[in-house]
A = this chain, B = another copy of it.
Amino acid sequence: MMNKQIRMAARPVGFPKESDFQLVETAAPKPGAGEVLARVIYLSVDPYMRGRMSEVKSYAPSMQVGDVMVGGAVGQVMESRSDQYQAGDYVVGMFGWQQYAVANEMGLRRLDPKLAPLTTALNVLGHVGLTAYFGLLDICDPKLGETVVVSGAAGAVGSLVGQIAKIKGCRAVGSAGSDAKVDWIVHELGFDAGFNYKTVTDYGAKLAELCPNGIDVYFDNVGGAVTDTVMRLINVHARISVCGQISQYNLEKPEMGPRWFPTLIVKRAKVHGFLITDYAPRFGEGIRDLGQWLSEGKLKYREEFVDGIENAPRAFLGMLQGKNIGKQLVRISSE
């Protein structure tokens, strides 16, 4: 059985190109003891993958040229050498960008397609939802009536952050990169306000207008100019959760920016970066609340699909460019 994979063909310089990826056909792997062979159904493409493609020392080892692209995915077990899984089981795991993958039982979680759509395991009920949940609630502890600003508000994580802020009784304000995105977060998701950072020219005036009581909590997915403006508008005792900095990932040379330490003193404010993996011991708590809110209709999400492993690089590059609204997935095979 042949297996199509996407490997890293070259380390991207600046914004990645299609030629940084390579489609390879190889024999499908065989599971060893404690492992399963799965066919991949849905592949998630996420901003963090850009970091893995760089040589810069980061929280996880860099990928090397020739490596299969990393990525979380939903699949179905075809062959099992694990006591815990059997053929036919739906599972989520780090299968990578390929049609067939072998994975150790330790890194898998079984999914029940009757409880929730399979794709939610890569979205609201997976790392995406948990990132929004802990990054907002644990780091920022938003209080009733406070103003929460989220950048990248129409992305998979950002769209949930604003909705969770609303559940907590906050004013939710988002920045996003198109009028359609702003329309979606305000009119579908229930954000109080949003703005298109690509057409608004004076972020300071716009944010001051949308946040008349200042900014108590900022959930940052983007960094750069929007963040610089938010930092000038934070209230005393503001809390800032740094989840992503997608505006900075594809720069060939790091940008300089305003120094924020003096502001942090005056505002007695906290900036805290996080990785969702550090919350693993508390995932159950997050999934329970997220599942509850989802079932009550309090959390809405949107998915966009690209079909075929060949098109995964295009889906990934489009996501980095902000072309999608909500969660970008690649459908590798049918459910």
Contacts and interface: CB of A to CB of B under 8 A. Distances in A.
Interface in A229-272: 236, 242-245, 248, 254-272
Interface stretch (A167-175, A177-185, A273-281, A322-330): A273-281
A216 interface: no
A58 interface: yes
B265 A243 contact: yes
Contacts of A266: 58-59, 273
Contact of A254 (B227, B236, B259): B259
Given A254-B259, A256-B258, A257-B259, A273 B278 contact: no
Contact of A270 (B59, B258, B259, B271): B271
A185 to B, nearest CB: 22
A91 B261 CA distance: 34
A35 interface: no
B278 A268 contact: yes
A245 B258 contact: no
A71 interface: no
A265 B248 contact: no
Contacts of A260: 260
A223 interface: yes
A146 interface: no
Given A245-B262, A248-B261, A257-B258, 19 more contacts: A59-B236, A59-B267, A59-B268, A243-B265, A245-B261, A245-B265, A248-B262, A255-B259, A257-B257, A257-B259, A261-B271, A261-B273, A263-B273, A264-B271, A264-B272, A265-B275, A266-B273, A267-B273, A268-B278
Interface of A: 58-59, 220, 223, 227, 236, 242-245, 248, 254-275, 278
User: Nearest 10 pairs between A and B by C-beta?
Assistant: A264-B273, A265-B273, A256-B256, A257-B259, A270-B272, A271-B271, A245-B262, A242-B261, A242-B264, A58-B266
7 contacts: A59-B236, A257-B259, A266-B273, A268-B274, A269-B272, A270-B273, A271-B271
